[in-house]
Structure 1
Amino acid sequence: MTLDVQFQTFFAMMIAGSMIAVQLDVYQRCLPDKARSKWPQAFLDLCFWIVQAMLVFYVLYIMNDGDFRFYIFLAIILGFFVYWQTVRPLFLRLLEVILKVVDHIYRIVLKIFYLFLLIPVVWLYKGVKQLLIIIYKCFRLLFDPFVSLLRFLLRPLYQAVGGERVVAFVKRLWRRVFPKKDEEDKQ
């Protein structure tokens, strides 16, 4: 490996160390409060560091075919601390501004969804429900007198045929043709 490739690898690993520090700041800022309990945070931390290791080894593979030397550790640590001492305060302020903008955009999208999709669907549902209630009441108003008249006219015939026995027969016949689940299980 030439000296030129080693210098390129060293600076690439310094940048990788700085990127790890940046991603660590973003991760710590965006970690949900629910995940700050013991086990979820441990799992998320493990996943974070596995991803960081994979990214570092990918950069190392691209730069010098994965040749691993001691100075690579030093470059990563140096890049981490250079970021930490110089750019971090500015980046944290910028990150807060970005998160506020993203939160504001998210709230606007939710309001648009609420105003243009949810409210019209609810209004349509309530309108259709009221329309069906009105139609039902109209049918009741129209047909209730006819049903009462029909009952009045058929009452003598019902009593003459022995109405209670006919109703009991029809119920028994109905149960035999369409048994309930419980009765099917017993048979």
Structure 2
Amino acid sequence: MSLDTQFITMLIMFSSGVYLGMVMDTFKRFEPLWKPNVVMRYSFEILFWILQGLVLFYFLFLANQGELRLYIVLAVVCGYAAYQALFRTTYKKVLERLIKIVAGLIRFLTRLVTVFIVRPIRFLIFTIVKLILLLWTTSLAILFFLLKIILYPFQLIGRITWKLVPKNAKKYLLDVAGFYSKIKNIILKWREFIQQKRR
């Protein structure tokens, strides 16, 4: 391995150590979101370290075709230590600022969607439902009014006919109507009783 290749490899692996420190702090920053769930916590930890191992190996492969040497490990450790000593405080501030910007952008987009999409659709649905209900009640009112007009002559004929019926016949008809009404009430009570027993 030439000196140029060794130097590039050390530089890449040093940068990999800095990268490792940054992603670890980023991971720890978001860890409280899933920490209460034990399964998610361990799953994310395992996936995180597998992913970082693959990323570091990819960097090493780009640098020297994947040859692992002691100085490469030391370069990664030095990069991580340099990050902890020099860049960590600045990076965490930048990370917090980015989180605030992204959170504010998400809130803005959410309000934008709510104002220009959700509320108009909700208002449209509410208006359509009100119109349908208004049309339904108006149609029913018109239908009942027409039925009253249509049935009025029959009611009138019935009243006149009832007045012409003899008193004895009226009494008989009222008794029959009362009898059928009682039977109907008894049947309804028994049906309710059976339905309650089934429950």
Same fold, judged at TM 0.5 (above): yes
Alignment of 1:15-164 (within 5 A): 15-148=15-148, 153=154
Rounded to whole Å, the distance in 2 between the matches of 1:81 and 1:147 is 91
How far apart are residue 6 of structure 1 and its match?
1.2
How far apart are residue 37 of structure 1 and its match?
3.4
Rounded to whole Å, the distance in 1 between the matches of 2:81 and 2:119 is 52
**Residues 63-82 of structure 1: per-residue CA shift (max 9 Å, x gap):** 11111112111111110011
How far apart are residue 34 of structure 1 and its match?
3.3
**Residues 19-53 of structure 1: per-residue CA shift (max 9 Å, x gap):** 01101111111235234433311110111111111
Rounded to whole Å, the distance in 1 between the matches of 2:135 and 2:146 is 17
Rounded to whole Å, the distance in 1 between the matches of 2:36 and 2:18 is 25
145-154 or 73-82, larger mean C-alpha shift: 145-154
SS at 1:31 equivalent: helix
Letter in 1 for 2:91: F
How far apart are residue 149 of structure 1 and its match?
5.6
**Residues 107-150 of structure 1: per-residue CA shift (max 9 Å, x gap):** 00000011001111111111111111111111111111333566
SS at 2:55 equivalent: helix
Letter in 2 for 1:84: Q
Rounded to whole Å, the distance in 1 between the matches of 2:30 and 2:14 is 24
Rounded to whole Å, the distance in 2 between the matches of 1:77 and 1:66 is 18
Rounded to whole Å, the distance in 2 between the matches of 1:58 and 1:34 is 28
**Ranges in structure 1 where 5+ consecutive residues have no aligned partner:** 157-187
| Percent of aligned pairs with the same amino acid | 24
Rounded to whole Å, the distance in 2 between the matches of 1:106 and 1:92 is 21
The equivalent residue for 1:12 is 12
Q: How many residues align?
A: 155
Q: Structure 1 residues 77, 36: CA separation in 2 closer, same or farther (over 3 Å shift)? A: farther
Letter in 2 for 1:142: I
14-23 or 24-33, larger mean C-alpha shift: 24-33
How far apart are residue 151 of structure 1 and its match?
6.4
**Ranges in structure 2 where 5+ consecutive residues have no aligned partner:** 159-199
Rounded to whole Å, the distance in 2 between the matches of 1:4 and 1:127 is 73
Letter in 2 for 1:30: F
Rounded to whole Å, the distance in 2 between the matches of 1:105 and 1:87 is 26
